[in-house]
Chain A
Amino acid sequence: MILVIGAAQTPFNRRRDGTGFRDWACEAFEAARAMAGIDRSDIDALIVASESDFFTLQLNPASVLAQDFGLNEAETLRVEGGGATGQLAVHAGVERILSGRARYVAVVGVDPSASALAGDSIRALYGYSFDFWTDGLAGVTATSLYALSWQAFAAEHRGTGDDLNAVTIKNRGNAMCNPHAHLPRQHTSEDFADSPMIAAPYCRLHCSPLSDGAAALILSAPDAAPDNRRNFAPQITGIGAASDLPGLGHRKAPGTFAAKTKAARRAFDMAGLSAAQIAVAEVYDAYAGAEMQAVTALGLAEDPLRTLRDGGFDADGGCPINLSGGLMGQGAPVGATGVGQTASCALLLEGRYHAGLQPDRPLGHALADTHGGVGTTCAVTVLSAGAVA
């Protein structure tokens, strides 16, 4: 068990203020460190989550960020796993402490995914995030692959366009109470008819944005936590990861995120918990339908589409999904996404989340979920409330 003694993020949005990724990373790191109440010299390792050097134009970004943060002698490591980058970095930080190599670890996720490159360049780059030698040679885009995968899921589970709209309305509605969110919106079902079709059935309103921003965690060994944090800090109790074949067509069921089920099982086993005990979850909703595919794979509801239609995943439902707004509403600076999800879960468990989104009941356990590819590189983190929650 590892304590999350610091958790913070910057706004996720498209920056037009002349700042850069090193500024955002410093802002998130310093906010998390202030919450943790430890000195820079206490930090044994810095794990940096950054998806692509094409965004930052900085190879070995962990080295320059360690310098910026004043972590002169800390071990540094950069982690990358597509959309799962941030969550995999959290896992790497947890493992540093579990192995006894570190007492305090800073995990910082950052990417300038919105402002660094033009949209066409981003789309071209993401063509290389699937198997370039096969699917990439078709010229396929991320949205098209997700649309094909949703069609397979919808055929099996009777998913509808209304379900896609409902996820968008829910997540962007939650984002209205999140001051860090990129796309806070009060959509109605009428808005979708006018939204341009990107890859049927996905129109633009069903797609998450790419964002700029950073998020940071300070992780601590239980016996090293400062006195004022030891009993209150939420705990990371389970981590699990698994992978699937990159090619959708090579999978037995192209609409099923089988690797996510394996990753979740590994995380639940480590935590000694079951999916039914999760009170709140941040789930990888790169596209509206992907949230339902993920919730299904994670086992968070017996009949996920019915639960969605009944409001069970709403902010006031039985198991709120993506209170932050998720990728759809809060936004997605890719490396920061998984770190930000874990930060949101930690703040929710500690009762310190944004007013209007913090449930008024005590929360026992939370889950953060990401994947790279279309459910290919899956990483799940389970958190539990601190000793005095």
Chain B
Amino acid sequence: MKQDITLNYTLGEGWLAPWLDGLREGKALASTCKECGNAHFPPLRACPTCRAPCDGWCALNGGASVVYRTTGADGDFAMVRFDGACGAAIANAQALPPDATRAILAPCRDAPPKLALIPEPET
């Protein structure tokens, strides 16, 4: 027997609204811990070190270093450490050259916005 379902969700962005707006604009917003001041990107609501609420936001410069990378039929993804953040993020790396060690956050107008990387501009 066949059964088709189409689901259209409306999701409240809540406390993550600043982070999602940042992805849309290509701005890396990290959540900051009330106690230790650590900046978490992607944002965490509670600091894993001191368990305190992360109720502030700070803008990172958007640059990131590639830690690990994987490619194949499932796509091209990297674990990257954004400058100024503690911890690392998982990002779409499709637009990066295979040997890239640096990248910047790409603005993304998709719905929902993607956490994706583009090459760092040459200086």
Contact = CB atoms under 8 A, between A and B. Distances in A.
Interface of A: 57, 123, 131, 133-135, 137-141, 143-145, 147-148, 151-152, 196-203, 245, 247-250, 254
13 contacts: A57-B3, A134-B89, A138-B92, A141-B75, A144-B72, A144-B74, A144-B75, A145-B90, A198-B72, A199-B74, A200-B71, A247-B44, A248-B90
A125 B31 CA distance: 28
B89 A249 contact: yes
Task: Give the interface centre of B78, B90, B91 by most chain A CB atoms within 10 Å.
Answer: B90
B68 A135 contact: no
A122 to B, nearest CB: 12
Given A140-B77, A151-B70, A198-B72, 18 more contacts: A57-B5, A134-B43, A135-B115, A137-B23, A138-B90, A139-B75, A139-B114, A143-B74, A144-B72, A144-B74, A148-B69, A148-B77, A148-B79, A199-B71, A200-B72, A245-B44, A248-B90, A249-B67
A133 B16 contact: yes
B68 to A, nearest CB: 4
Contacts of A145: 77, 90
A200 B70 contact: yes
Nearest to B3: A57
A134 B115 contact: yes
A202 B72 contact: yes
A191 B63 CA distance: 41
A197 B72 contact: yes
Contact of A151 (B68, B75, B87, B91): B68
A250 B79 CA distance: 11
A64 B39 CA distance: 48
Given A137-B115, A138-B114, A247-B42, A254 B74 contact: no
Nearest to A151: B68
B79 A254 contact: yes
A247 B42 CA distance: 9
B40 interface: yes
B113 interface: yes
B68 A152 contact: yes
A131 B45 CA distance: 13
By secondary structure, the A interface counts as mixed
A198 B91 contact: no
Contacts of B75: 139-141, 144, 199
A134 B114 CA distance: 9
A335 B84 CA distance: 41
A89 to B, nearest CB: 26
Given A138-B115, A200-B72, A249 B77 contact: no
Contacts of B90: 134-135, 138, 140, 145, 148, 247-249
Contacts of A203: 72
B114 A198 contact: no
Interface string B3-20: 101000000000010011
A199 B68 CA distance: 12
B22 to A, nearest CB: 11
Contacts of A144: 70, 72, 74-75, 77
Interface in B65-113: 67-75, 77-79, 81, 87-92, 112-113
B68 A138 contact: no
Given A137-B113, A140-B77, A249 B72 contact: no
B86 to A, nearest CB: 9
Contact of B77 (A123, A134, A199, A202): A199
